[in-house]
A and B are shown apart, each in its own frame.
Chain A
C-alpha cells in the first residue's frame, strides 16, 4: 500500500483534436510546465464524449475526468461542444447528487492557441483532486445475498 503522501491523482482527459488537443501540444512544445497526472485520449470533438466514458473512467479508478473542447461558437462541427455541455452538466450534477465529489468531473474550453490555459487547467484540476483524495468510489465489496458463503 502506498503512503497517502506519495499518492498522485490520475486524471483522464478527453481532448477535442481540433482545439484542446492542439492546445496540449502547444503547452508541450512551448515548454509550459503542467502536472504529469493527466492521461490524454484524443476525441474528434467534445461532443463525442459519452457520459459512459466518464463513468467508466471513474469505475476503472481514475481520480478525475477532464473533458475539454472548443470555446462556444468555435466548434469544428458547429454544435458539438454545446451538446457536450448539456451532457456533462447533467452527468456532473446527477453524479454529485449520488455522492460523487463534483471535482472529479471537470470541463474546460481550451483553444489550439491556449497552451498556457491548458497547463493552468491541468494544474488547477490536479490540485483540486489532491484535495479530494483518491477515488475509492467503487472499491467496496458487498454481498447482500450471501453469495460469498460457499458452504
Chain B
C-alpha cells in the first residue's frame, strides 16, 4: 500500500496534476510521524502509512497555494469535505489519496500500559485486533482497543467517503463506544458545580500556546477573536477564566466543522481533555440539527443554514 501511495504521488507530481504532495514521513523520534509537504517527486519516496499517523493534514490545505495531493484518513477526509463546504478549498484543487484507517495508536495510552516512556519502548506492532509491545526484551500483548485513541474508538467513517484514489480496501473501524465516551459520560454524571470546577481546574493549566487551534483544520480564521483588541474580548494572559472563554468560543466556532479527529487534545502539551469538549459539541450538533461535519460536500455549512422547525423548546 505504501509503495502504491508513493507511485501515485509521484505520478501526480510528474503529470502536473498537483503542485504539492502532503503526506506522512517518519518523524525524528521513535514511533513519531511528521507531515511531509513537498513539490519534489524524489521526496515522495519518504511517504509512509502506519498506525502512528496522527496529524490531520487537511490543516495545511488552507495555507498551500496551488493544487494539493493529500493523504487522508477517514476523519481527515471529512475535514477536507468540511473545508469544501466552507469554500475554503475547491474540490478540483485537491486530489484525495484516501486511506482506510483501522485506528491510530495513542502513545500516551501505551506509555501508561507499560509504565515506560515512548523512547524506552522496543517496538509497537499491530497484529489485527491485537497490539504487541516489546520493552526491555519483554513482549506484551493487548487488545488493540486498549491503545487506540478515544476518538478512533468512536470512529464513524474509517474509510474516506470522498476520495480520488483509495489506497486499500474499505475497512471497518475497531470501535468501543463506551471507552470512547467514558470521560464525557463521567462528566455528565456529575452535578453542574463540580463539572464547572472540573473544567476551570483543567483549563487553569492552559498556557495559551494555541496548539489546539493551530492543528485544527476547522480553525481557519485569518485572525482569531482572541487577538482582537477593539473590542478586546478576553485577555491574552493564561488565566483560567480567559482560557475557558477561549475554549468555549472556539468550540462554538468549529461546531459543525469538527469531525472528532482528536488533534486538539493530542496536541495539547498540558493534557487538557479537549476532546471531551469537542466531542460533546459534535454530539449536540448531531442531536439538535441532525448534522455531522464533513459528510456531504454539497451540504450547506451548519451555521449558515436553518430549518423552520428546530430547537425551539428553550425559547419563551
Within 8 Å by CB, do A and B touch in the complex?
Answer: yes
**A positions within 8 Å CB-CB of B:** 51-52, 55-56, 59, 72-73, 79, 82-83, 85-102, 106-109, 121, 124-125, 137-138, 140, 142, 144
State the CA gap A100–B308 with chains docked (Å): 28
Q: Is the CB of B280 within 8 A of A94?
A: yes
Chief secondary structure at chain B's binding surface: helix
- In the complex, the chain A residue whose C-beta lies closest to that of B312 is A85
- A92-B314 contact given A98-B196, A100-B196, CB 8 Å threshold: yes
- In the complex, the chain B residue whose C-beta lies closest to that of A72 is B308
Kindly list chain B residues whose C-beta atoms are within 8 Å of the C-beta of A51: 248-249, 252
Q: Is the CB of B316 within 8 A of A109?
A: yes
Q: Is the CB of B311 within 8 A of A85?
A: yes
State the CA gap A72–B308 with chains docked (Å): 8
Q: Is the CB of A99 within 8 A of B280?
A: no
* B285: min CB distance to chain A, Å: 7
Chief secondary structure at chain A's binding surface: helix
Kindly list chain B residues whose C-beta atoms are within 8 Å of the C-beta of A125: 316
Kindly list chain A residues whose C-beta atoms are within 8 Å of the C-beta of B306: 79, 82-83, 85-86
Q: Is the CB of B225 within 8 A of A52?
A: yes
State the CA gap A137–B248 with chains docked (Å): 14
Kindly list chain B residues whose C-beta atoms are within 8 Å of the C-beta of A101: 192
- A107-B314 contact given A83-B303, A101-B192, A142-B204, CB 8 Å threshold: yes
Q: Is the CB of A90 within 8 A of B255?
A: yes
- In the complex, the chain A residue whose C-beta lies closest to that of B207 is A145
For residues 69 through 96 of chain B, which have their beta carbon under 8 Å from a beta carbon of chain A?
none
Q: Counting CB contacts under 8 A, is B140 at the interface? A: no
Across the interface, A107 reaches (CB within 8 A) one of B255, B303, B315, namely B315
**Chain B contact residue count (CB 8 A cutoff):** 44
For residues 179 through 221 of chain B, which have their beta carbon under 8 Å from a beta carbon of chain A?
187-188, 192-201, 204-205
Q: Is the CB of B199 within 8 A of A90?
A: no
Kindly list chain A residues whose C-beta atoms are within 8 Å of the C-beta of B281: 90, 94
Kindly list chain A residues whose C-beta atoms are within 8 Å of the C-beta of B194: 99
With A97-B280, A99-B192 given, can you name 14 additional A-B contacts, CB distance below 8 Å? A51-B249, A52-B233, A82-B306, A85-B310, A94-B248, A96-B192, A97-B284, A99-B193, A99-B199, A102-B314, A106-B316, A108-B315, A109-B315, A144-B204
Q: Counting CB contacts under 8 A, is B142 at the interface? A: no
Kindly list chain A residues whose C-beta atoms are within 8 Å of the C-beta of B197: 99, 140
Give the most central of A73, A79, A92, A140: most B CB within 10 Å: A140
For residues 223 through 258 of chain B, which have their beta carbon under 8 Å from a beta carbon of chain A?
225, 233-234, 240-241, 244-245, 248-249, 251-252, 255
* A86: min CB distance to chain B, Å: 6
Kindly list chain B residues whose C-beta atoms are within 8 Å of the C-beta of A96: 192
Mark contacts of B275-316 with chain A using CB atoms, 8 A cut-off: 1 yes-contact digit, 0 otherwise. Answer: 001001100110011000000000000111010101110111
- In the complex, the chain A residue whose C-beta lies closest to that of B255 is A90
Q: Is the CB of A138 within 8 A of B241?
A: yes
Kindly list chain A residues whose C-beta atoms are within 8 Å of the C-beta of B241: 59, 138
| Sample of 17 A–B contacts (CB below 8 Å) | A52-B249, A55-B245, A85-B310, A85-B315, A86-B288, A86-B303, A91-B252, A93-B288, A94-B248, A94-B280, A94-B281, A97-B187, A97-B188, A101-B192, A108-B315, A125-B316, A144-B204
- A107-B316 contact given A89-B288, A142-B201, CB 8 Å threshold: yes
- In the complex, the chain A residue whose C-beta lies closest to that of B192 is A99
* B52: min CB distance to chain A, Å: 31
Q: Is the CB of A87 within 8 A of B240?
A: no
- A121-B204 contact given A51-B249, A101-B192, A138-B241, CB 8 Å threshold: no
* A20: min CB distance to chain B, Å: 11
Kindly list chain B residues whose C-beta atoms are within 8 Å of the C-beta of A52: 225, 233, 249
State the CA gap A91–B249 with chains docked (Å): 9
